[in-house]
Amino acid sequence: MAGPIANFTISLGLDGSVKTQGAGVSAAIDENTAPVSDAEKDKERLETSKASVPESAKSSADGKLIMSEEIAHGHITWKSMNLLLTGLAGQHPVIFTLILVGGLTIASMAYTLVPWWLGVWGAQYETHDPADVDVT
């Protein structure tokens, strides 16, 4: 889709590494044929899945198919996490970590103090005339 307007293309691997880079989309497609073969495999799977209904599918009384939920488990490699953290922290990982931990601590304290402050403010209605309680 981006072929007519793309001046430079980069093909990424599953771990976030650069597989190909070049001046045209056709060069990336020529060097990396995996997306084309994956698309063909997906078409075949779609055709076979339309023909057969999984055994886990059960027909309910109103005629609807009910399938058990499939849970997919993935993983993130250390190389990908390192790429993310290096991109976030840049050349100052210690400062980034201190700011991150400090920000999370302040956010946790704020979440803890909000109900407490609402209790203090609400208790003023018991000891003061409601007209005297500052709303803002």
pLDDT digits (tens, 9 = 90+) for 63-97: 666 777 778 788 888 898 888 888 988 888 889 98
Please state the domain count of the chain.
2
Describe the crossing of helices 78-89 and 93-127 by its angle, rounded to 10 degrees: 80
Residues 45 and 94 in one domain: no
Q: Which residue has the tokens 């208790």?
A: 123
Across all residues in the chain, what is the average pLDDT?
79
**80 and 135 assigned to the same domain:** yes
pTM over 0.75: no
Q: What are phi and psi of 94, to 5 degrees?
A: -70, -45
68 lies in some domain = no
Cα distances from 99 to residues 46, 90, 102, 103, 106, in angstroms, run: 48, 13, 5, 6, 10
Q: What percent of the chain has pLDDT over 70?
A: 72
Q: Write down the pLDDT at residue 115.
A: 94
Query: Distance between CA atoms of 26 and 111, rounded to whole angstroms?
Result: 52
Residues 24, 6 contacting (CB under 8 angstroms): yes
Residue 3 sits in which domain range? 1-51
